[in-house]
Structures are given as C-alpha cells and as structure tokens.
Amino acid sequence: MGVRWSCSALAGAVPEAQMDLETTRRSAERFAITRGHGRYFDEARLRLRTEEEGEASRFEVSVSPPSSSSTLTTMDFRDTAEVAEFRSEAAAWLAENAPSFELDETPDAPGADVEKQLEVGRAWMAKKAEAGWACLHWPETYGGRGLERFHSILFAAEESRYRVPVGFFHIGQNFAAPTLMEHASEEAKARHLPRLLSGEELWCQLFSEPGAGSDLAGIRTRAVRDGDVWTINGQKIWTTYAHLADYAILVTRHDPSLPKHKGLTYFYLDMKSEGVEARPIRQIAGTSSFNEVFLTNARIPDGQRLGEVGAGWQVALTTLMNERAGAGSAQNPPSVVQALRLATEIQLEHGPAIADASVRDKLASWYVRSRGLELIHQRTMTALAQGRTPGPESSIRKLVAASQQQDIANFGIDLQELGGSLRDPGDLGLGGLMQQCLLGAPGARIAGGTDEILRNIIAERVLGLPGDIRVDRDRPFDEVPGA
C-alpha cells in the first residue's frame, strides 16, 4: 500500500510522487527522537496520515510518547506579534531595495567576477547601514540598533531570499568586530567598527596554519617585539578573501618557551603592509576564495595588539565563540527539495528515479533528518530570543548538516551516472549544482570546526564524557615534538 505525499517543504516539487508506507515508516523510525521535559523517550510511536490540500496531499510523521503517563510539550513556532512586526518591516524594506543589488551570477561561482561582486556588496552594505539595517545587534554606539542577535538572524533569513553578495563581510562583521568591541582600544573601535558596518573595510581571519588548524594553540607564526613594534614571520592558510581584504585578525606565538596556550598574542593587521603576501588557492570546485598568506618580517605597531601580551588564547576564544555561534546556522545546498526534484527529472531504465524504492528511502531519511536540524535551529533561536547563550546545539547541527550535504551531492552525481562527471559546475541546473556541491563538500566539514572537533565538543559538553588526554597542555611549546 502506498500514500501520495508531499510535505509543506516539498509542496509542488513533484506532483504525484508515490512513497511506500512501510519504507517511509522505517526511515522515520530510524531517525526520529523526541525530547520532552529534559529526558529522551525510549520509544516513539509514529503515525502517518494524509490530508487533502487541494490537488496535493500532505505527508506527516507524528511522534508521541510511549505511554499516557508521559507528557509531551507542544512547541509553538509561530512568530510573536513583536517578531511578526519586525519580520514584516524587514521583508518590506528588502523587497523595495534588495533587487537593485542582486547578482546575475551565483556569488563566488567558478569564473565569476569576484571584484565586481565585491563592489556591489560594498554598495549593498552601505545602503543597509544608511537605512539602519546593518548589524542590528551591534550597540548603537557603533552604528547598530542595540537589538538582540536574534533580530540579526531574522533579518539574514529574509535577506537570503535575494541574491545579494553579503558573504564577503561575514568574517569582519561577525568574528572580527565582536573581538574588537571587547579587546580593542577606543580609538581602534572608533576607526574600524563604522567601516566594518558599512562594508568600507573587508576583514579576513589569519588563524589556521599548515601544521595547526583544528589545534589552534599549536600555531608557529612568530611575533618578536622591538619596542613599540612587532615583527611577524610565518605562514597562514585557508584564509577566505585574504587577497581582497583590507585588514586581518591574527594569532601569533610570542614566546615558545611557555605552554602552547600561554605563549600566544593576538593582533589585527593591515593586509596592505609590506611583507604580507596573499596567494589565492585554486580549489577543485573551480573557485579561489581561499588563500595562503606569507608573513615575512611584517611589522605591526603595538597599538594593534588586542588584549595583553600572552592573552592571545583568551582573545581568540572571543572570536571562536562567535564563529561557532554561526556555524550551521543555515542549511547550505544541496537540499532535500533539490534532491527530490532531481530524482523526478532523471530517467532510469524502468522510469523516473523517484519510482525506485531505495531512492524514496534515502529522500525520506534526509527529510526527517533535515526537520530535526530545523528544530535544533529553533532551539538556538529560542535561546537567543530569551537572551540566553545557546549551548552546543550549533555543533550538533553543523556535524549532521555538513555530512548530509555531502551525502545528497554524492546521491545526485550517482543518479546521473557518467553524465554527472560531464556537467559543467558553472551550470546552474540541478546537475551542475550537485557536482559543484560535491566538490566543495569536504571544505564544509572542516571550516568552523572539523567533524572530529565537533564530536569532542558533543562528547564532553553534551554526553559528559571525559575529555581527551592532552599531554602537551602544560609543557613548554618548544619541547613539544614537532613544534
């Protein structure tokens, strides 16, 4: 027995896709976990039903507690009156202004004119700043509205409906700016924060090195002080937009005789300084947004130091906490909807791919998992709306989302068989999108915390497992093998 289905997220994606009831039930059972009143239920009863909605049907998976003695709290995801008013105001302003700044090509697509995109991006940021829609959660002193981060996330969700180039400014506004606010001098804040907000300055992040990525405290880039000036020598890598950036935040090692977390000092750096060379890295997907950066006797005034000498790790944590807060905040392509559409387009030997039970099983599994990711995101949004600091939810969400994106992209390429390898990744059709996503997927599992680091966070902070044994923590860095 089968049911016709489409859920609200998939409505209209395929007119009358058939899904086997038992296959769907098994898929949902495999992934559905219900949490209520601080404990996990040992069992879940799932109910499938269809409801007529015009010409389409609705597919629902309902999860209920195993016994009448258990109580399940119903979540209300509707906007409050205040949030609805804010969202409506933001949507109206964007509808009037954003179309004039939309790109004809996908931001940072292979072969795209990145410098032209950046020029449009700067103009768009200036427009938002002038109208009071840039960096809403920043204090009013620095050009924001003093709202909660929640409002910035709501605005970004509405803004994502338009193809406007905002990615250039993500690191500067969300990682560098909070670090400057907390650790920079008043003079530095007054100079740089308004320019960051308006898009006049583009910032990058000089953290990762060839031998130190996930283990940031293992960096080797040296900073040697000579009076009021520091001389920097070393190499950084995987630095997004370093070749376009005006400034960078930088972690260095000033004293290798101290344990690795204690011998660090944090600066910000003028990327146009003598001795700073950025070399774009051509990636397998055809883009070149990442760079390796060589610092050769680059000189930084002591006034551009953030925090005390030796407090670089504490300052870096400010940056990292803001980075992790944004990790996994959006589900990047390819989505389950796109996978479903491709499955309806691809013709296999016995008909469309969607008619294959194994294909439907994968789609059902990914849909349920995607819904779980949405609910985790709602938990984060709830915490922000209530003024609380989110927990490790973003780590869970990024870990699951990044691997799922890779799985869906692999699935899309497999469906196309040999044709999948011949599609131009610049093609905006679903075939080209799957290829481009597949080639870029490994990077998503590294940026913002590798899978291994995220699993450690989940193990230690969610499951309460003992932390890793770190034998190098209290040893002088120059005595650590390989340092």
Tens digit of pLDDT per residue, the chain (483 long)?
333 333 333 333 333 333 444 444 444 444 433 333 222 222 333 333 333 333 333 333 343 444 444 454 556 667 788 889 999 999 999 999 999 999 987 666 777 889 999 999 999 999 999 999 999 999 999 999 999 888 998 999 899 899 999 999 999 999 999 999 999 999 999 999 999 999 999 999 999 999 887 788 999 999 999 999 999 999 999 999 999 999 999 999 999 999 999 999 999 999 999 999 999 998 887 888 899 999 999 999 999 999 999 999 999 999 988 776 655 455 577 888 899 999 998 888 888 999 999 999 999 999 999 989 888 888 877 777 676 777 777 888 889 999 999 999 999 988 888 777 766 655 556 767 888 888 888 888 887 778 898 899 889 888 899 988 888 878 899 888 876
pLDDT at 480: 84
pLDDT at 201: 98
pLDDT tens digits, 335-367: 888 999 999 988 888 889 999 999 999 999 999
Question: Alpha-carbon distance 476 to 258, whole Å?
Answer: 5
Beta bridge partners of 56: 53
Residue 373: Cβ-neighbour burial (10 angstroms; 0-12, 13-18, 19+): middle
Question: Alpha-carbon distance 323 to 247, whole Å?
Answer: 18
pLDDT tens digits, 122-172: 999 999 999 999 999 999 999 999 998 889 989 998 998 999 999 999 999
pLDDT at 423: 60
Helix (H, G, I), strand (E, B) or coil at 268: strand
Residue 201 annotated to the active site: no
Q: Which of 23, 28, 67, 27 is nearest to 46 (CA)?
A: 28
Question: Alpha-carbon distance 174 to 151, whole Å?
Answer: 14
Side chain identity at 9, as an amino acid letter?
A
Taking each helix axis from N to C end, the angle separating 393-416 and 336-345, rounded to the nearest 10 degrees, works out to 10
Domain residue ranges in the chain: 2-73+328-447, 81-165, 204-323
pLDDT at 321: 80
CATH tag for 2-73+328-447 (out of 3.40.1130, 1.10.3470, 1.20.140, 2.30.29): 1.20.140
pLDDT at 428: 53
pLDDT at 43: 30
Contact status, residue 461 vs residue 419, Cβ threshold 8 Å:
no
What contacts 80, CB < 8 A, 6 or more positions away? none
Contact status, residue 371 vs residue 27, Cβ threshold 8 Å:
no
341 token code pair: 């559409």
pLDDT at 88: 96
Contact status, residue 102 vs residue 162, Cβ threshold 8 Å:
yes
Contact status, residue 41 vs residue 66, Cβ threshold 8 Å:
yes
Q: Which of 158, 209, 323, 393 is catalytic?
A: 323
CATH code of the domain occupying 204-323:
2.40.110.10
pLDDT at 228: 96
For the chain, state the CA radius of gyration: 24
pLDDT at 167: 92
2 token code pair: 């089968």
Beta strand 203-206 with 247-253: parallel, antiparallel or unpaired?
A: parallel
Contact status, residue 394 vs residue 325, Cβ threshold 8 Å:
yes
Question: Alpha-carbon distance 48 to 210, whole Å?
Answer: 51
Contact status, residue 275 vs residue 296, Cβ threshold 8 Å:
yes
Contact status, residue 423 vs residue 286, Cβ threshold 8 Å:
no
